[in-house]
Structure 1
């Protein structure tokens, strides 16, 4: 796990005040210095972020009145790409989890989780990891594989070729030779691959690609 930093400002978006109160109480207990902003719709959430500036974390309910499925997540990711958004939902269907993570959610937290598990999930997200709920073993693996495929699908054809060479164990200079391009071009492709796959090293990218048997 990466270095964990206490959040300074968090936005809770849910149209049920009882749910907002429950999440607020968790932050009050675990992160007493954290400033909590609240919104009961996507519109008020965007207004709050425009007025108050970006926050360290957004907790977004999947079902709020002015949102259709993941449109709220997509709007927040588009307007505030540097702000991690955690989906909070009573549903833990694998397809919903997969779609949310593929659309850029930093985590998916079921409302049914116990308090300690919610704290653990939030700490994982704040340290830069993606939190996925405990689905049954085969479903969890399938959801992870779906997420990896969705990220690889964002690569350009040339980036997919480069990733295939990385999976095969080639060094940058060997990739440059194989593709008849400069080292600078290869490095640019590798950087783009890491960014799109949301990993920090080529080793992580290769491990991820190997999980779905990607060969280029």
Structure 2
């Protein structure tokens, strides 16, 4: 690897962030590793380092809002591959990560060797997902991923505000644009998502949220004991 490469590591768990950085440093000590602990920091780092070769992104850290953070980063900086890391090992979640544009998925149960191999594969232009979990991404997930990927960064911002129940006037204020521009964005969002109303758009956006089925089952079992 050549000197000057930058990789951004975004994870709010210090110990795992260190493990990720160690795996990257073992590939080449000259790689510059930028560590961040929440989505806002990660996005700011990406703005400062648009030549970064990779972002390693914790799915569950503050500010991510499920897959919304991934979708936004892919729309804003499509040239930078993203590896998702998470304690969630649910097949559907991993398949969704692939459909929303992730180049890899590293379960937090992975060994240091497995982490290193996954990062190395993505840096070489390949993808890296758990072999026994990624087979057969459902057509519906692929279609949703394509539709979300067609949105511009500004349209994703508007869609995020729609999910929060904000009115056009409020969105215009937040984004410092006119209400007419907001209306134009909403119309474009509806068309790209293939829906007819703001409510339907919010329902589609809700599919970006992540449900950890195994964790939900564990909670249900705990309440029954």
TM-score, normalising length: structure 1 = 0.61
SS in 1 for 2:135: helix
Q: Give the structure 1 partner of residue 136 of structure 2.
A: 142
Relative to structure 1, the CA distance from residue 34 to residue 94 in structure 2 (aligned partners, 3 Å threshold; closer, same or farther) is same
On the 8 A contact 1:100/1:108 being kept in 2, the answer is: yes
SS in 1 for 2:78: coil
SS in 2 for 1:141: coil
1:28 Cα deviation (Å)?
A: 2.0
1:73 Cα deviation (Å)?
A: 0.6
Relative to structure 1, the CA distance from residue 18 to residue 147 in structure 2 (aligned partners, 3 Å threshold; closer, same or farther) is farther
Cα deviation, 1:145-190, whole Å, max 9, x if unaligned, reads x2797169849xxxxxxxxxxxxxxxxxxxxxxxxxxxxxxxxxxx
Cα deviation, 1:27-82, whole Å, max 9, x if unaligned, reads 22222110000111111111112123330000000101112110111111111110
Structure 2 CA distance for aligned equivalents of residues 33 and 78 of structure 1: 29
Task: Find 1:22's aligned residue among 19, 23, 31.
Answer: 19
Q: Which runs of 5+ in 1 are unaligned?
A: 156-216
Aligned pair 1:79/2:79, yes or no?
no
Aligned pair 1:51/2:43, yes or no?
no
Structure 1 CA distance for aligned equivalents of residues 48 and 124 of structure 2: 26
Aligned pair 1:130/2:127, yes or no?
yes
Relative to structure 1, the CA distance from residue 151 to residue 106 in structure 2 (aligned partners, 3 Å threshold; closer, same or farther) is farther
Q: Give the structure 2 partner of residue 69 of structure 1.
A: 66
Relative to structure 1, the CA distance from residue 56 to residue 147 in structure 2 (aligned partners, 3 Å threshold; closer, same or farther) is farther
Q: Give the structure 2 partner of residue 102 of structure 1.
A: 99
Structure 2 CA distance for aligned equivalents of residues 43 and 153 of structure 1: 23
Relative to structure 1, the CA distance from residue 73 to residue 114 in structure 2 (aligned partners, 3 Å threshold; closer, same or farther) is same
Relative to structure 1, the CA distance from residue 98 to residue 153 in structure 2 (aligned partners, 3 Å threshold; closer, same or farther) is closer
State the superposition RMSD in angstroms.
Answer: 2.4
For residues 1-216 of structure 1, what are the structure 2 equivalents within 5 Å?
A: 8-135=5-132, 139-143=133-137, 146=138, 150=142, 154=146
Q: Give the structure 1 partner of residue 172 of structure 2.
A: none
TM-score, normalising length: structure 2 = 0.59
On the 8 A contact 1:102/1:147 being kept in 2, the answer is: no
Q: Which runs of 5+ in 2 are unaligned?
A: 148-225
The farther-off stretch of 8-17 and 115-124 is: 115-124
Total equivalences in the alignment: 146
